Amino acid sequence: MDWTRKKLYSQYDKWSADYLLALQAQAAQSDFRPTYHIAPTSGLLNDPNGFSFFNNQWHLFYQSFPFGPVHGLKSWVHLVSDDLVTWHNLGTILNADTAYDSHGAYSGSAMVIEDRLFLMYTGNVRDKDWVRHPFQNGAYLDTDNHLTKLSLPLIKQPAHVTDHFRDPQVLKKDDTYYALLGAQDANTKQGKISIFKSNNLTTWEDLGYLNFTQQDMGYMIECPNLVTVNEKPVLIFCPQGLDKNIINSDNIYPNTYLIGDNCQLKNGEFHSTHNIELLDHGFDIYASQAFNAPDGNAYLVSWLGLPEIAYPTDSENWAHCMSVVKKLTIRNDKLYQEPVAAFKNYRKCHAELHGMLNEHQQIVITENATLSYELEISFLQNQQGTLSLLSSSNSKGLRLNFSTSNNAYFEIDRKDCGIPFATAYGTKRRVALEDNAPLKLHILIDHSTCEVFVNGGEFVFSQRIFPNDDDLQILLASESEVIYNGDWWKISNMTH
């Protein structure tokens, strides 16, 4: 399809049901469709939105363009879950259909207000000269999952920011509501986080920018999230155009976090003695959204995709999926991420894996690991080797290279895993590990997704991969002697 501006921004009633049904069937039939990750019913999925707990269920929404693998006129699709693992898709709920969101119901967040869920989102509006006017809008979801939009926007673009002003996170501190927004300063064209406050969720006062760093955050910050983890404030955000001296990432845009010592939103102060860190060390995490749940935990979910990158399923007319939901903790001043505990309820067909390789040996650990599994595997210290997932006699697969000796590291190389893509951004991602310490990997594979939790979630590597149907082996190759111990489980299907 030739994606003209007119096509991209056509109202949904201008598309035919016939075309939509064909796209839905194409997406459902894809060999790359994950079975336990949220994927779009058709077309494109991007940012997670409105992640919350309301009316005794977990709620999550995704940014949707149902008519192709492109960023067209966005709406929200609504999902609910009882356990943060199985999600039920309740369909499109927030459409771009008013004067204040005519060109897209863009990203936002949610907060429970009495017996309703308050949604705050960016309405994208273009005027006849195609000048963008971002509005921060409100809507309420009731306990019957019916949505009512507020008739007027809550926040209009202030003079000190450009039209890059979006992704409100609504928060409550003491008895005051706050909204954090991704912004670009009008004078400096630098990326900023805007703060607004309100006593009633209706009238909002501009508090300027959040003061969280002296460093230059590039030209835009998207998707700011402030969350409390083990009693510390953590700021999660997506700086665009960041200097590599600040965050050395090969991804087009990184998703980063900063642990704070204290945060006073009313003064716009986020004080930190830490460095800004990469949230995920893999190839494809962006637009993460976190929130503090009533169970006392902080949970995170991410778009498992990046802007401006072509993905192999574009040719199948659908694109992207969500990460699994991760629980956040802080240990030793580091942010740890782990899959939620309910995952264990979906394990099937356990296999124990253990053995020893001499140096320069290669063995098939599992001949048919399927395309939907969980693998926990540990290596002793002073070992070097490569664990190859999704490999076959014809394919080297996804290589996880590691050393637990001196200059210890963990590295993912997706160069030879199925269909190559985004190779201009490199095919390897690596972190240095503590020298001479054992290594523990917790790996989730789901057709076209791979999420690796290193050492209990100290580092996470999340990425899309597009293996062949018959790349089902798990291989282990040793440089040194390698002793491994692990468990494999098939994961049953669960995302609806």
Q: Which residues are catalytic?
A: 47
One-letter amino acid at 272 equals: S
Contact between 93 and a second copy per CB under 8 A: yes
- 115-133 in b/e burial notation, b at 16+ Cβ within 10 A? ebbbbbbbbbbeeeeeebb
Contact between 88 and a second copy per CB under 8 A: yes
**Cβ nearer to a second copy, comparing 85 with 412:** 85
> 306 burial class (0-12, 13-18, 19+ CB within 10 angstroms)?
buried
Contact between 15 and a second copy per CB under 8 A: yes
**How many Å apart are CA 322 and CA 62, to the nearest integer?**
9
Contact between 29 and a second copy per CB under 8 A: yes
Per-residue tokens: 220: 């835009």
Instruction: Identify residues 141-160 at the interface with a second copy (CB under 8 A).
Output: 145
Contact between 98 and a second copy per CB under 8 A: no
**Options 1, 3, 5, 16; binder of a second copy; rule CB under 8 A:** 16
Give the interface segment with a second copy, choosing from 12-20, 50-58, 161-169, 443-451 (CB under 8 A). Answer: 12-20
Contact between 200 and a second copy per CB under 8 A: no
Q: How far lies 192's CA from each of 189, 204, 211, 308, in Å?
A: 9, 18, 9, 21
| Run of H or E including 430 | strand 428-432
- 172-206 in b/e burial notation, b at 16+ Cβ within 10 A? eeeeebbbbbbbbbbeeebbbbbbbbbeebeebee
**How many Å apart are CA 352 and CA 484, to the nearest integer?**
11
**How many Å apart are CA 205 and CA 411, to the nearest integer?**
46
Contact between 20 and a second copy per CB under 8 A: yes
**What is the smallest separation between the CB atom of 448 and a second copy, expressed in angstroms?**
16
Contact between 55 and a second copy per CB under 8 A: no
Binding mask 68-87 for a second copy (x = CB under 8 A): ----------x-------x-
Give every CB contact of residue 184 below 8 A, 6+ residues apart in sequence: 161, 162, 164, 165, 190, 191, 192, 219, 220
**What is the smallest separation between the CB atom of 49 and a second copy, expressed in angstroms?**
16
**Cβ nearer to a second copy, comparing 13 with 333:** 13
**Cβ nearer to a second copy, comparing 78 with 442:** 78
**Options 7, 57, 71, 92; binder of a second copy; rule CB under 8 A:** 92
**Options 57, 89, 361, 395; binder of a second copy; rule CB under 8 A:** 89
Tokens 């895993």: give the residue: 417
- Say how many residues touch a second copy, by CB under 8 A: 34
Q: How far lies 466's CA from each of 276, 427, 449, 491, 496, in Å?
A: 31, 13, 8, 19, 21
| Residue 287: other Cβ atoms inside 10 A | 26
Contact between 333 and a second copy per CB under 8 A: no
Contact between 368 and a second copy per CB under 8 A: no
**Cβ nearer to a second copy, comparing 22 with 356:** 22
**What is the smallest separation between the CB atom of 318 and a second copy, expressed in angstroms?**
12
**What is the smallest separation between the CB atom of 31 and a second copy, expressed in angstroms?**
9
Binding mask 454-493 for a second copy (x = CB under 8 A): ---------------------------------------x
**Cβ nearer to a second copy, comparing 21 with 432:** 21
**Cβ nearer to a second copy, comparing 33 with 399:** 33
Q: What DSSP designation does 469 have?
A: T
**Options 7, 26, 163, 277; binder of a second copy; rule CB under 8 A:** 26
Contact between 349 and a second copy per CB under 8 A: no
**Cβ nearer to a second copy, comparing 30 with 213:** 30
**What is the smallest separation between the CB atom of 92 and a second copy, expressed in angstroms?**
5
**How many Å apart are CA 197 and CA 367, to the nearest integer?**
57
Instruction: Please provide the size of the chain in residues.
Output: 496
- E strands in 251-397: 256-259, 262-264, 269-271, 277-278, 286-292, 298-304, 318-319, 321-322, 326-331, 334-339, 347-357, 362-366, 372-379, 384-391
**Options 90, 246, 342, 351; binder of a second copy; rule CB under 8 A:** 90
**Cβ nearer to a second copy, comparing 348 with 354:** 348
**210 touches 268 (CB < 8 A):** yes
**Cβ nearer to a second copy, comparing 141 with 465:** 141
**What is the smallest separation between the CB atom of 327 and a second copy, expressed in angstroms?**
22
**How many Å apart are CA 111 and CA 292, to the nearest integer?**
10
Contact between 6 and a second copy per CB under 8 A: no
**What is the smallest separation between the CB atom of 345 and a second copy, expressed in angstroms?**
9
Contact between 140 and a second copy per CB under 8 A: no
Residues forming contacts to a second copy in the complex (CB under 8 A) are: 11-22, 24-29, 41, 66-67, 78, 86, 88-93, 145, 493-496
